[in-house]
Amino acid sequence: FGFKLHLLCNERGELVNFYLTRDNVDDRNQKIFSVLSNGLFGELYADKGYISASLCEMLFNKGIHLVTGIKKNMKNRLMSVNDKMLLRKRSIIETINGELKNICHIEHSRHRSPANFILNLLTALGAYSGNTN
């Protein structure tokens, strides 16, 4: 069994929201994005794996513009220079994932109970959020 941790961060690398799902849940699930984007507006930058017409429409109705790169088999579309630059900031979320795995040891696989798993996860997220370095 496994889980996926979905993270939402701002441009400064601060965690804004998170959502935990089983590993067999599709990343483009509208419920995930509905919870993650609750109370937000503006632009949401994601990688190519999140391209979905229904997801884009749902977020647009909430006042959020989903910005993703384009896949190789897709038609080219115009994108502002600002959007292209901000899409390159993917390293921010990858850095967060790396710190959670390596410094906070979030990828521990031998929890003895589900409560211990959740406690370890919440402690790691809190430690990352409280770290000012």
Q: Which domains does the chain have, with CATH numbers?
A: 3-130 (3.30.420)
pLDDT digits (tens, 9 = 90+) for 13-29: 899 999 999 989 988 88
The 10s digit of each residue's pLDDT in 74-130 is 676 767 788 888 887 888 888 999 999 988 888 877 778 888 888 989 999 999 988
Distance separating alpha carbons of residues 59 and 40, to the nearest angstrom: 10
Tens-digit pLDDT profile for residues 22-80: 989 988 888 998 999 898 999 888 888 888 889 989 999 999 988 887 766 667 676 77
Its sign, for the CA torsion 127, 18, 46, 43, is negative
